[in-house]
Amino acid sequence: MTIDETEDKLGQDFSLKDPKPRQRKPFQVVLVDIKKASYGEIHCVKKTLEDDDLKFVALSYRWGELLETQIDTGVGYTATITSFHLIDFYQLCGKMTIESDTKHINYVWVDAICVDQSPEKRKATIHQMSNIYDRATYILAVPDLHLAYLQDLSFKNDDIIEGSDKYAIYLYHLLHGHASQLDALDEAFLDKANVPKDPPALRQLLLKNTNHFAYGLLNDIEYGKLYCPVQASITSAKPPPIKSVVNIGKLG
């Protein structure tokens, strides 16, 4: 073997071979168990985002600014939550377990809990944000998840929120136009207020001839200042238009 042949042989032995392309490591998304959260327990799991069988709800909401709450996710990091109150999150999960669109889904993704804030992990999750929402089975927009923050801003906010919560069931059925459920709630309210059932016309006077109950609210009935429900029930006439009532009042 000549010197040149030896050099060629050595060159072949030590030449750099084309490295095999690196396989991309599947992204592991952190999810919260909805059913356990509905009972006040944060239980997190890691799932492969590309898994075809993966189903989860992704939350979209406005952040608040509350005192921080720390929870152990059980998947290698502690989450610090300031965006919402955990009680409100638990209640939301409870509602998801009964809503027809979400009750078949076991997990929810919410950034305040599901993003590991260590620099490397946080960066990796941010790069996957679009994919997370694209892969979500259902995206749920929650405009009032930061309700506790709004409630702390002022006494007025607190009064409004407490009042809304008091009549939450009624407002729910009103927004959905559930007339029969509203009628039942109206009757229960009159029972609690000890309004007599005899004569029957007395309750009908309140229910059908004022705008304080379901009939008036659902039919968008508006009465003028001089409107008298008793007179309306006697004459069985429709209430006069507001404009006419106002004019009569001015003439008086």
Q: What is the DSSP letter of 67?
A: -
pLDDT > 70? residue 238: no
Predicted TM-score of the model (pTM): 0.63
pLDDT digits (tens, 9 = 90+) for 136-149: 999 999 887 877 77
Indicate if 200 and 214 belong to the same structural domain.
yes
pLDDT > 80? residue 52: yes
Indicate if 143 and 69 belong to the same structural domain.
yes
Indicate if 235 and 216 belong to the same structural domain.
yes
* Domain annotation covers residue 12: no
Low-confidence winner among 25-29, 74-78, 90-94, 113-117 (lowest mean pLDDT) = 25-29
* Domain annotation covers residue 19: no
Indicate if 33 and 130 belong to the same structural domain.
yes
Indicate if 160 and 44 belong to the same structural domain.
no
Instruction: Indicate the residue among 122, 152, 182 that finishes a domain.
Output: 152
Which residues 6+ apart lie within 8 Å of 105 measured at CB?
34, 55, 56, 57, 96, 137, 138
Counted domains in the chain: 2
- Going through 49-106 in order, the beta strands assigned E by DSSP cover 56-61, 69-72, 78-81
Indicate if 134 and 179 belong to the same structural domain.
no
* Domain annotation covers residue 244: yes
Pick the more confident residue, 117 or 163.
117
Indicate if 125 and 41 belong to the same structural domain.
yes
For the segment 3-23, the average pLDDT, to the nearest whole number, is 52
Indicate if 40 and 142 belong to the same structural domain.
yes
The pLDDT of residue 8? 53
- 153 — pLDDT class (breaks 50, 70, 90): confident
Indicate if 51 and 138 belong to the same structural domain.
yes
CA distance linking residue 128 with residue 149, whole number of Å: 29
Pick the more confident residue, 205 or 248.
205
Which residues 6+ apart lie within 8 Å of 30 measured at CB?
44, 45, 46, 73, 75, 109, 113, 114, 115, 116
The pLDDT of residue 134? 95
* Domain annotation covers residue 10: no
Indicate if 35 and 119 belong to the same structural domain.
yes
* Domain annotation covers residue 1: no
Pick the more confident residue, 211 or 173.
173
- 42 — pLDDT class (breaks 50, 70, 90): very high
Pick the more confident residue, 212 or 78.
78
* Domain annotation covers residue 4: no
* Domain annotation covers residue 90: yes
Kindly state the percentage of the chain with pLDDT values over 70: 78
pLDDT > 90? residue 89: yes
Indicate if 78 and 33 belong to the same structural domain.
yes
Indicate if 147 and 180 belong to the same structural domain.
no
Q: What is the DSSP letter of 167?
A: T
Instruction: Indicate the residue among 104, 121, 152 that finishes a domain.
Output: 152
The pLDDT of residue 20? 58
The pLDDT of residue 96? 95
pLDDT > 70? residue 227: no
Rg (alpha carbons) of the chain, rounded to whole number: 31
Instruction: State the residue range of the domain holding 170.
Output: 154-251
Pick the more confident residue, 88 or 243.
88
The pLDDT of residue 109? 96
